[in-house]
């Protein structure tokens, strides 16, 4: 094993009870650090000592980060070690290369822990739903932001206050950028794309919007309409009948209908919906992070790998088929869904009419519009639209912003409407 941080210690704990699998060596940076767990084997400060050991068949990588993990895994694969990794950043950025290298060397990369922590997503898609063409994977893939949004709804807290709470409880890091701006979800979507659609997606080509702008007022307003605000990530075939075609890969806050299983994903849990042409929709909910859930995924992979070692040439059976090229991505503007808008406008006659006209010009049908209590500065207008093209909404909002009556676009959030993406 390379690395002995939180997850590594969890792996050591779980393997204590395992009879058929043993750690031979663990590489760490600091040999003297207290680990809080009985060590089952010798520590080493030298990763090559592990990679070059001919007795070692499986390398577990739980150090995280891009480098030097990338070099270590490349060399392990070249030495024909099977790899178990929890490293989402590494796979999202270098998946095509690593899976091609693994195939050439006849070894397997198992990566259940890299997405959605303890939720056994990869075995589900790769084995359980084998008979399906998967058209979409849609989920709440970041526990930190889900915790923050849940707090904001349940306690009426501000984003800042809920973030501070998450930091205090250890759910969020001091610099929360990676979570709250959607980078973490983008990495996971790249991996899920490989799993569901056979190709990784460059993280930088994923349309990404975080939760910093979501307010407790928007959450309360959404709730009144029967929705809950969630940070939703998705990777969908742009054309559901065209496997191998472009993917629509995005992460942004969405209003999820309260009746949908994803709305019930609370606190730091993750939830993932998989849509297959035969099965319809399957949703899985569980801990998306944390020491033991993540270790559960790592050790599960290791056990499955170890018990398969007796089978000759098994890697091709276990490894999802992943193309060594990056996926093409659809234009973000081509995405269709309804919108929730919170506008602050001057309280002058005819505003609603003007808004309606602008929207009409951009092919946007309004489903409901509510003008709320006139304040000092003007009035608040809340609009729910029918499903519209993202690009049309963007141009309508740009036009709105030219108008004198518009004080501020307080928020514009998409509404999760599964049937608008594409039906099962």
Residues that bind a copy of itself (CB under 8 A): 10, 14, 17-18, 112, 118-124, 127-133, 259-261, 263-266, 276, 278-287, 290, 292-293, 295-300, 302-304, 307-308, 310-312, 314, 317
Task: Answer whether 26's CB lies under 8 Å from 9's CB.
Answer: no
Phi, psi of 4 (to 5 degrees): -145, 55
Choosing from 88, 93, 188, 230, which is the catalytic residue?
188
Q: Give the list of residues 6+ apart from residue 277 with CB closer than 8 angstroms, or none.
A: 132, 133, 135, 424
Q: Give the list of residues 6+ apart from residue 33 with CB closer than 8 angstroms, or none.
A: none
Integer Rg of the chain from CA: 24
| Number of Cβ within a 10 Å radius of residue 404 | 8
How far apart (Å, rounded) are the C-alpha atoms in residues 184 and 181?
Answer: 8
> How far are the Cα atoms of 79, 132, 242, 373, 414 from residue 376, in angstroms, in the given order?
70, 56, 53, 10, 28
- Nearer to a copy of itself (CB atom), residue 101 or residue 284: 284
The angle subtended at Cα 14 by Cα 9 and Cα 15, nearest 5°, is 95
* 188 catalytically annotated: yes
Task: Answer whether 389's CB lies under 8 Å from 415's CB.
Answer: no
Minimal distance, residue 319 CB to a copy of itself, in Å: 12
- Nearer to a copy of itself (CB atom), residue 240 or residue 261: 261
Residue 114 token pair: 């890299």
- Nearer to a copy of itself (CB atom), residue 203 or residue 293: 293
- Nearer to a copy of itself (CB atom), residue 11 or residue 73: 11
- Nearer to a copy of itself (CB atom), residue 64 or residue 286: 286
How far apart (Å, rounded) are the C-alpha atoms in residues 92 and 313?
Answer: 26
Residue 205 token pair: 């080509």
How far apart (Å, rounded) are the C-alpha atoms in residues 180 and 112?
Answer: 23
- Nearer to a copy of itself (CB atom), residue 296 or residue 411: 296
Residue 198 token pair: 């056979």
Helix (H) or strand (E) holding 259: none
Catalytic residue annotation? 188
């Amino acid at each position: 094993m390379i690395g002995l941080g939180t997850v590594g210690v969890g792996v050591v704990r779980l393997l204590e009870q395992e009879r058929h699998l043993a750690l031979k060596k663990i590489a760490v940076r600091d040999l003297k650090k207290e680990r809080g767990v009985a060590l089952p084997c010798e520590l080493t400060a030298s990763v090559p000592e592990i990679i070059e050991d001919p007795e070692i068949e499986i390398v577990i990588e739980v150090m995280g980060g891009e480098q030097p993990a990338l070099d270590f895994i490349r060399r392990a694969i070249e030495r024909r070690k099977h790899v178990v990794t929890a490293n989402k950043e590494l796979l999202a950025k270098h998946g095509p290369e690593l899976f091609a290298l693994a195939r050439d060397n006849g070894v397997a990369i198992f990566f259940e822990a890299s997405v959605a922590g303890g939720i056994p997503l990869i075995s589900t898609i790769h084995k359980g739903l084998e008979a399906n063409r998967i058209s979409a994977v849609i989920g709440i893939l970041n526990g930190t932001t889900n915790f923050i949004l849940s707090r904001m709804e349940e306690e009426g807290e501000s984003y800042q206050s809920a973030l501070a709470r998450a930091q205090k409880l250890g759910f969020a890091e001091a610099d929360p950028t990676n979570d709250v701006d959607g980078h973490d979800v983008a990495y996971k979507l790249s991996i899920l794309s490989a799993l569901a659609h056979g190709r990784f997606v460059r993280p930088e080509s994923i349309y990404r919007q975080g939760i910093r702008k979501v307010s407790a007022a928007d959450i309360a307003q959404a709730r009144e309409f029967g929705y809950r605000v969630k940070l939703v990530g998705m990777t969908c075939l742009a054309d559901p009948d065209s496997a191998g075609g472009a993917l629509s890969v995005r992460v942004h806050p969405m209003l999820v209908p309260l009746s949908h299983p994803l709305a019930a994903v609370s606190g730091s849990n993750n939830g993932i919906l998989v849509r297959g042409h035969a099965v319809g929709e399957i949703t899985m909910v569980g801990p998306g992070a944390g020491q033991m859930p993540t270790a559960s995924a790592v050790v599960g992979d290791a056990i499955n790998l170890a018990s398969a070692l007796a089978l000759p040439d098994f890697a091709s059976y276990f490894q999802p088929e992943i193309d060594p090229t990056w996926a093409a991505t659809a234009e973000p503007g081509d995405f269709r869904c309804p919108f929730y808008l919170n506008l602050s406008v001057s309280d002058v006659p005819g505003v609603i009419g003007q808004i309606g006209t602008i929207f009409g010009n951009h092919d946007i049908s309004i489903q409901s519009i509510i003008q709320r209590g006139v304040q000092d500065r003007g009035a608040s207008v809340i609009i729910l639209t029918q499903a519209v093209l993202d690009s049309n909404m963007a141009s309508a909002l740009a036009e709105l912003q030219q108008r004198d009556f518009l004080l501020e676009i307080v928020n514009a959030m998409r509404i999760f409407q599964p049937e608008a993406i594409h039906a099962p």
